[in-house]
Structure 1
Amino acid sequence: MRVAIRHFVRVSLLLGSMILLVPVASGAELAPDAPQTYVVRSGDTLWDIAGRFLRDPWLWPEVWQANPGVGDPDLIYPGDVLELTMVGGEPRIRARRGAGPRVVRLTPHVRSSPLSAAVPTIRISSIAPFLTRPYVADAQDIKRAPYVVGFPDEHLIAGVGDSIYVRRIRTNTQTAFQILRPGDELRDPDSNELLGYEAVFVADAQLERIGDPAKLKVVSMEREVSIGDRVIPGDAERRLENFFPHPAPEGLRGRIISVLNGVSQIGPYDVVVINRGTRDGIEPGHVFETYIGGTKERDMVKSGAHEPNWRGPGPLSSEFWFGSDYEKKGWRADEPDSNAPFPLHMDFRRNNQKYFKPFEQSGVLMVFRSFERVSFGVILKASHFINVGDWIASPPS
């Protein structure tokens, strides 16, 4: 009997998905200080290990070679030794099972071989709150969903153990529900399309009686239930399945439109929302590079704002009245109309000299959950501060 220790919410995120099925020419480049061998330690993640060997960790599937000579050849465990070799001029990495007894004799006739917890792809703690909660709601679905209309007593809010009234639940085919509160709009920054709403998780509830209104009981909560909160089936959101990092579709670009951790400047292991989803071919495991730049900036030299004037402008200077970012365009008259008693006067207009700030690669993002129009991603690497509105693009091939 072999007992495998599995991660919670069925998210193993293991190397088991990463067997190299067909020999192909690898585009993976080794990291400058790639080791010849590495002993896997408790607390390691696949992303960290891949980064030790490869310049681009998401290309790990191209170099991994499962060892068919050992049990569970597709998984990596603490104590395993990873060996780097070259095959036909291409890097390959193979695991050699770590030393130490894995078999424990329980009785003369029964053996148990418990497995150490396999190495996860990333640190699950950073994304765990977002794995099974419906944090994005479609604009139409949230409007059509049943909603909390009141309470059996005079409460204004409800907590664990309290009952609530919900409009339009007429069958008992579903008994477990989640209660949401529509949050901020998620709009495409380029087209202004409404992509959905950030849906704040409120509570879990159990059906007590069908009807209009139906009666539900709150069984767990993160915040108090209020009138107007929406109610959806508890299993409407499919749990995250196993996945592995791989490049996003070639040529695909997008934007970061929200950050879910309540921060203004985004760094490693923060969770963000991007304006690309399943309709764009996005799936869990897709890797994007993030970019800063592309913004229109003022040319301080062209506008004259950078020119020092130690004496400062006096009242006889146009800069005194208009500022240094205005320039003389000529003379104009007859304004506001030809009959107005205004003399010919100088025409000063704002100097709008601008330049576009070049794009610079600022980090790496991996999608771990996809909806139709948007997806959740976790920042795995950041060389600059990342902000809402920054661009993302598939890694260059």
Structure 2
Amino acid sequence: MRATARQFVRISLLVGSMALLMPAAFAVELAPDAPRTYVVRSGDTLWGIAGRFLRDPWLWPEVWQANPGVGDPDLIYPGDVLELSMVNGEPRIRSNRGARGGPRVVRLTPHVRSSRLDDAVPTIRFSAIAPFLTRPYVADSQDIKRAPYVVGFPDEHLIAGLNDSIYVRRIDSNAQNSFQILRPGDELRDPDTNELLGYEAVFVASARLERVGDPAKLRVVRMERQVSIGDRVIPSDEERRLENFFPHPAPEGMRGRIISVLNGVSNIGTYDVVVINRGEKDRIETGHVFETFVGGTKERDFVKSGDYDPKWRGPGPLESEFWLGSDYEKKGWRADEPDSNAPFPLHMDFRRNNPKYFKPFEKSGILMVFRSFDRVSFALVLEATRSLNVGDWIASPPS
């Protein structure tokens, strides 16, 4: 955590931009057990601290007031004392630095605050999303088809491992010497329209270019799976890192669905990574927060269907339910079927009784987008009050 916190801790520029992104209509409400003071501890995250004070943690920039006159005023460090107060009826949270003191504060002439940036509190748990920051786990269907692919191996192997060489068609330029090897995975389809949004691209290995050509020659320098013929090869985006951010509400009125969960999880919970069917084309960006909901499904009414009949005695052979079951209902008499000349007598009309009701939506958690593609995005589940599932609904927080 300490080695990677640098990408997360600077929220000063973002706090200023948040005023442009966040409508004034959002009312800040305190958490029911919000403390008057809180001492920041090692291992805390900014999201967790915000949740101690606020009902909606993503509204933290609305109430945060840094201690003026202190270097890096928008960073929070272990040992800082956060104080809650009310100003004109609205909550404000301020860092009372120096209340607990610490070796990182050094007073010189003129007054200077010396601190290690890596010691500051990160926004979220970096370890939960680190594997997904540089690897393109979603591939456009056309891009993955057009990408160079592994065609063979120098030593007639069927697969390749660490430090093995591979042949790839085709790489004509040595402008890029670092590559990632991917294996096309499951389709990502919109659950409402069945439209193909892309493919999950499984990370296989990293490789370095040894020789351009058709085929080009690469060497495997890091691997998670053995390289096979047909695996796709794309330029590595090693310099890509998660930019500074702080969670903020998704565009008002935005709705979507969870369409996949990564790492083979079946029941989705806190700190799991999911894929949603909204992306950059829907104005989704890093830091956007959604609430998740279960419900909206059509369920059977067991009482109306007769499955919960309170009668202690079951139907006898002289009753239709004895033969037809409780899923049928008498609708009247039928005659002249299939036509008036058919030799069928007048008979009872039984129709299947299959009453349904729609299960109401219930809030089930909160997730935050940390990486976006054209049609889909990766999101981290920050809170889960019940188990989430693929197909569950998401919506922007109410304003």
Report the TM-score when normalising by structure 1: 0.91
Cα 1:91–1:323 change in 2 (3 A) is: same
Does residue 389 (structure 1) correspond to residue 394 (structure 2)? The answer is no
Provide the C-alpha distance between the structure 2 equivalents of 1:204 and 1:346, rounded to a whole number of angstroms. 72
Provide the C-alpha distance between the structure 1 equivalents of 2:156 and 2:35, rounded to a whole number of angstroms. 67
Alignment partner, residue 193 of structure 1:
195
Provide the C-alpha distance between the structure 2 equivalents of 1:219 and 1:43, rounded to a whole number of angstroms. 33
Task: State the one-letter code of the partner of 2:8.
Answer: S
Query: 1:317 Cα shift?
Result: 3.6
1:7-64: CA deviations, max 9, x gaps? Answer: 4396325443453576978721111221221110001010110011111100001111
Cα 1:383–1:174 change in 2 (3 A) is: same
Alignment partner, residue 12 of structure 1:
8
Structure 1 vs Structure 2 CA RMSD: 2.5
Task: State the one-letter code of the partner of 1:96.
Answer: N
Does the 8 Å contact 1:15/1:119 carry over to 2?
no
Does the 8 Å contact 2:31/2:52 carry over to 1?
yes
Provide the C-alpha distance between the structure 2 equivalents of 1:226 and 1:46, rounded to a whole number of angstroms. 42
Alignment partner, residue 123 of structure 2:
121
- Aligned to 2:236, which of 206, 218, 234? 234
* 1:134-213 correspondence to structure 2 within 5 Å: 134-213=136-215
Query: 1:227 Cα shift?
Result: 1.0
* 1:1-397 correspondence to structure 2 within 5 Å: 7-8=3-4, 11-19=7-15, 27-98=27-98, 99-102=101-104, 114-115=116-117, 117-235=119-237, 238-336=240-338, 341-397=343-399
Q: Unpaired segments of 5 or more residues in structure 2? A: 108-112
1:273-322: CA deviations, max 9, x gaps? Answer: 11101111111111111111111111112111211454434444433433
1:130-180: CA deviations, max 9, x gaps? Answer: 121111111111111111111112211110111111112111111110011
Does the 8 Å contact 2:2/2:118 carry over to 1?
no
Provide the C-alpha distance between the structure 2 equivalents of 1:104 and 1:89, rounded to a whole number of angstroms. 36
Does the 8 Å contact 1:26/1:90 carry over to 2?
no
Query: 1:241 Cα shift?
Result: 1.1
Provide the C-alpha distance between the structure 2 equivalents of 1:59 and 1:239, rounded to a whole number of angstroms. 24
Provide the C-alpha distance between the structure 2 equivalents of 1:10 and 1:192, rounded to a whole number of angstroms. 41
Task: State the one-letter code of the partner of 1:68.
Answer: P
Provide the C-alpha distance between the structure 2 equivalents of 1:370 and 1:156, rounded to a whole number of angstroms. 35
Query: 1:354 Cα shift?
Result: 0.9
Query: 1:214 Cα shift?
Result: 1.3
Q: Would you say how many aligned residue pairs link Structure 1 and Structure 2?
A: 388
Task: State the one-letter code of the partner of 1:203.
Answer: A
Q: Secondary structure at the match of 2:296?
A: coil
Q: Sequence identity, in percent? A: 80
Query: 1:346 Cα shift?
Result: 2.8
Provide the C-alpha distance between the structure 1 equivalents of 2:71 and 2:239, rounded to a whole number of angstroms. 34
Provide the C-alpha distance between the structure 1 equivalents of 2:222 and 2:79, rounded to a whole number of angstroms. 40
Provide the C-alpha distance between the structure 1 equivalents of 2:255 and 2:333, rounded to a whole number of angstroms. 47
Provide the C-alpha distance between the structure 2 equivalents of 1:10 and 1:137, rounded to a whole number of angstroms. 29
Does the 8 Å contact 1:283/1:367 carry over to 2?
yes
Provide the C-alpha distance between the structure 2 equivalents of 1:295 and 1:159, rounded to a whole number of angstroms. 47
Does the 8 Å contact 1:29/1:54 carry over to 2?
yes
Provide the C-alpha distance between the structure 2 equivalents of 1:36 and 1:335, rounded to a whole number of angstroms. 79
Task: State the one-letter code of the partner of 2:325.
Answer: G
Cα 1:304–1:212 change in 2 (3 A) is: same
Does the 8 Å contact 1:163/1:215 carry over to 2?
yes
Provide the C-alpha distance between the structure 2 equivalents of 1:74 and 1:256, rounded to a whole number of angstroms. 34
Report the TM-score when normalising by structure 2: 0.90
Cα 1:378–1:343 change in 2 (3 A) is: same
Q: Unpaired segments of 5 or more residues in structure 1? A: 106-110
Task: State the one-letter code of the partner of 1:12.
Answer: F
Alignment partner, residue 108 of structure 1:
none
Cα 1:63–1:348 change in 2 (3 A) is: same
